[in-house]
Amino acid sequence: MANIFGVTHRTLHFYEEKKLLQADRIGAMRIYGPHQIMVMALINLCRETGMAIVQIQELLSELAETTSQHEADKLFRDAMLAQRRELISSESLIRRQMQQISEILDHESPDSDDSSDNLAARTPFLTEFELHCLRLMSEGYTPLRISNATGRGIDDILTVENAIIRKFGSTNRFQAVAKAVLLGLIGD
């Protein structure tokens, strides 16, 4: 099984621990039947698409309850569509992060000879969306409320919030808001 799928024996043992695979045993030797080979093929495919173990566990559990091949195919297709949406969201987040890095680098002056103290005192560059989130943070919005108010996913909002905190050299959202108020970026 390990050779067929190009995985280690430890990986197979891990899948067994997670109740994804079940091997029969003859002494210390594990025996995988045709059904377990098909299950492993599905696990391998799901892992290659980046699906988390817990999602694979849920999918296998749901597939075990199906009563027809058509129902199983639909369930698998829905899982792949959900994974594609997840990957598109991740790609979008990475693109925004890359754009943010580019904007930061574009705003740096190459011949700047500011001291590190002066750099820390300078107002950080915030994107329009970061500034919007910062205002909502100052009004006491939680990340979930900001997510609902902006229509962006909670993971995106947490990433933006962490970027804001980092840009202000703060350790939490409250320090970032306080520094923004002191710098006059948002009202008090």
Q: What percent of the chain has pLDDT over 70?
A: 90
- 112-124 b/e (C-beta count within 10 Å ≥ 16 → b): eeeeeeeeeeeeb
At residue 137, the pLDDT reads 92
The single residue listed with the structure tokens 């002056």 is 109
Q: Give the bridge partners for 25, in sequence order.
A: 30
Question: Residue 110 pLDDT > 60, yes or no?
Answer: no
- In the chain, CATH 1.10.10.10 sits at 116-188
Name the pLDDT band for 122 (thresholds 50, 70, 90): low
Whether 134 and 186 have beta carbons less than 8 Å apart is answered as yes
Q: What pLDDT, on a 0 to 100 scale, did the predictor assign at position 182?
A: 84
- Return residue ranges of the chain for CATH 1.10.1660.10: 2-83
CB count in 10 Å sphere of residue 14:
14
pLDDT confidence of residue 24: 92
Is the whole model's pTM more than 0.85, yes or no? no
**CA distances for 132 relative to 85, 90, 180, angstroms:** 26, 22, 12
More confident residue, 69 or 121: 69
Phi, then psi, of 161 in degrees rounded to 5: -60, -45
Class of CATH domain 2-83:
mainly alpha
Segment 145-151 shows an average pLDDT of 94
Cα dist. 113→65, 102, 108, 116 in Å? Answer: 66, 21, 11, 9
Q: Which fold has domain 116-188?
A: Arc Repressor Mutant, subunit A (1.10.10)
